[in-house]
Homo-oligomer: A and B are copies of this chain.
């Protein structure tokens, strides 16, 4: 591991370390010397050691991002927004994928803290578990005290930091109204892990709106599974096994809806002929399904952009900043009026 150092460059350009450093960092230096330094650096293929720089007090250009699963289209889309802003600001992104393991999420925050990332983004629903919340807070507190900035997407209750919040509750309520408007009165829901804040909000918003309309959503009408395509398949299958008594199924995420489509297909049921299906998120692929999926469209790319922007700008106020992004119900062919 022999590396060309600043000292090598300084020697080659016959200037002092300080001058070489200044020239490379665009500070005032006699043009003549400036050129000599740059030429020497280029000739030696010099790359500054980011660690030495960081240790010497230069500001870091690598931010940390933690999400649940990079292969999930929802996170991929949000990450796309994050990467866009990062690229525009010449930032490198240290991306961690927790594989939906709460412990691992905390371990990653700790690693990112060790890296002295100037900012950490937490993407995706938090866990409503007191023990976990305490551990995460304990990890974040010293980081924030040390001047680190934190921004999150989709988790409010747990962390008191700058947040980008999709309006899950309102979106689910609006979807419920639209579905009621189609004449549906018997619903079922494919729900995710109950400890995720997103689940509580979407399920709650949906149920409350039904209740307000005098429509009940019995416990037997809700099936829980993982927030994955296969989870959606399993939950839908379970509902079918229980003897599905609904004209419309709401999947808490589009990804689950994709699995639900497959489960229904495997039972020979058609959408929306036999049952209407609606999702949430509007991940890119759902418009290419057959039939295209009715869903609550979230500006996924913007979720990531806004979070990164929060993390990159100073919060001058005394309170944490919250960016609320509304969802928009998009009716597509997967939901039909009740005959």
Interface of A with B (CB < 8 Å)? 1-4, 45, 47-52, 54-55, 61-62, 69-73, 76-77, 79-80, 83-84, 87, 92-97, 99, 104, 108, 110-116, 138, 141-142, 145-147, 229, 258, 261-262, 284-285, 288-290
Contact = CB atoms under 8 A, between A and B. Distances in A.
A97 B110 contact: no
Given A47-B114, A49-B55, A70-B83, 20 more contacts: A1-B146, A3-B146, A45-B142, A48-B114, A51-B51, A69-B80, A70-B79, A80-B97, A83-B96, A83-B97, A83-B99, A87-B99, A87-B104, A93-B94, A93-B96, A95-B95, A229-B284, A258-B285, A258-B288, A285-B285
A146 B50 CA distance: 15
A71 B79 contact: yes
A141 B77 CA distance: 34
A319 B288 CA distance: 45
A97 B82 CA distance: 10
Nearest to A291: B290
Contact of A52 (B3, B55, B62, B110): B55
A188 to B, nearest CB: 20
A63 to B, nearest CB: 10
A45 B138 contact: yes
A62 B95 CA distance: 10
A237 to B, nearest CB: 15
Nearest to A110: B47
Contacts of A258: 285, 288
Contact of A262 (B2, B147, B288): B288
A73 B76 CA distance: 8
Considering residues A50, A79, A80, A111, which has the most beta carbons from chain B within 10 angstroms of its beta carbon?
A: A50
Contact of A51 (B55, B77, B262): B55
10 contacts: A45-B142, A50-B51, A50-B115, A51-B51, A51-B52, A70-B76, A73-B76, A87-B97, A285-B285, A290-B290
A77 B71 contact: yes
A116 B49 contact: yes
Nearest to A91: B111
Given A87-B99, A146-B2, A92 B79 contact: no
A71 B82 CA distance: 11
Given A87-B99, A97-B87, A229-B284, A114 B71 contact: no
B70 A73 contact: no
Contacts of A73: 73, 76, 285
Nearest to A262: B288
